[in-house]
Structure 1
Amino acid sequence: MMLMSGGFVMVFPFLWQIMMSLSSQAESMSVPPSLWPEVAQWGNYATVFDRVPFARQFLISVVVTILTVVGQVIFCSMAGYAFARLRFWGSGAILAIVLSILMVPTQVYLIPQYQIVQSLGGLNTIWGIVLPGVFSAFGTFLMRQAFLGLPHELEEAARIDGANPFQLFWRVLLPLTKPSLSALTIITILFAWNNLLWPLVITTDAADMPLVVGLANLQGQYTTDYPVLMAASLMAMAPVLLLFILLQRRVVDGLAHSGLK
């Protein structure tokens, strides 16, 4: 019984969002709140496309997410391999500097980051949104832990067979870190899709904004059409919600293989 009530508490906000998206503006602001609309307002979903360029912003979000995931997988896996398997001067100090980024709030380097991208002409561009997110300290640490967990005998056998460091990384060790790569991919997808602060700062034109910024602009200065906002939010969250439900076990397995709890 307690499990059922706990599950209902977790699902209730999602169900409430669905009901709000089908309500009228008066019903969404009524006191006491209406548990179910008298007439389902399916037109709220069509109104979203009139308020914001939903299709274009959705496409921008998809492109930004794909590019961010590709960058994270490439750079974080290579950095994690270097810190875990290669011996070079200052590796411990460099790793400490990289991990120290996790202790610094993103707002601290927001202005310098903006100035750099502005000087490169990246305002209102996809690559300007993507560039700061193609590398992360968390992804580097995650992949480092994954490479540290692999047996050294594989590395020694590959070197005896004549493999150079890149072949050892690409052909031998990287395929064995698939659980951690899957976890990094899914976590990065959720981060890139839901990232609001940086795209909100760097984009000013609605046609160049990702979807999450477009949804933020649906909130008016004096009043907000909550049913339309809820309808847009449901359509925006549906792809990543479905992806996470289908692949959540891979996230758990990847974190477990990496030794993170």
Structure 2
Amino acid sequence: MRRGEQLPWIVSDELWARIEPLLPVVRRRADHPGRRRLDDRKVLCGILFVLYTGIPWEFLPKELGFGSGMTCWRRLRDWNDAGVWQRLHESLLAELHAAGALDWSRAVIDGSHVRAMKGGPKTGPSPVDRARTGSKRHLITEAHGIPLAASLTGGNRNDVTQLMPLIEAVPPVRGRRGRPRRRPDRLYADRGYDHDKYRKQVRAVGIAPVIARRGAEHGSGLGVHRWVVEQSFALLHWFRRLRIRWEIRDDIHEAFLTLGCALICWRRLCRATGS
């Protein structure tokens, strides 16, 4: 890390200003107040420390002032249940749209396997990892690789089963005058999505499918547009906690996944606005 550069898990004032209004208000009981609740911003720094470093919750250093690993885990769970990470992702997409940083001319979809060390829901034998237990993360991005939506399934699920659910998961993105934008003009995908049935479903929602055909020679040219989703998976894997699924509970891993997508959007927004 360069001298003077801020640690990535330290929440900046600008990012905190966007997150704080989304957090649920927890009232302290007057009759049994108990121990004072740790500051939300410090706990969020602890959550980001685990996300960036991949450290187990129980080994989170208390001297950093982020609270115990269990406190951070509970707060991550509660905020995920309250929809904080999804709303953060949607609000950042709206800011990117307002800044003209989203390209809706095309979207790209793909899936990526990740090993699930402890099993749990939404896992299965991975066909690309000697049938070891794993999960598959599905991602749809706009033309520049900015994540629009993500989902988690078992490692043995076919990519095409998440085609329409991912399209439907793209939120209505506001930020400009007129109706919110939700559908790209075209959708690019590899041979794993080559089914005429799903092509018809994609066309039915007003999107032109551009999907490689099975049996066709390599060099179709789709890679010129599809590489951005691979880049987005690489950015997600930059968060060490997302390189391997350590969580038994699927909702905790999905919370990290959505938070990771939101942080990628935040970086793109800072780049687009020069802040």
For normalisation by structure 2, the TM-score amounts to 0.26
Going by fraction, where is helix more abundant, 1 or 2? 1
Whose Rg is larger? Answer: 1
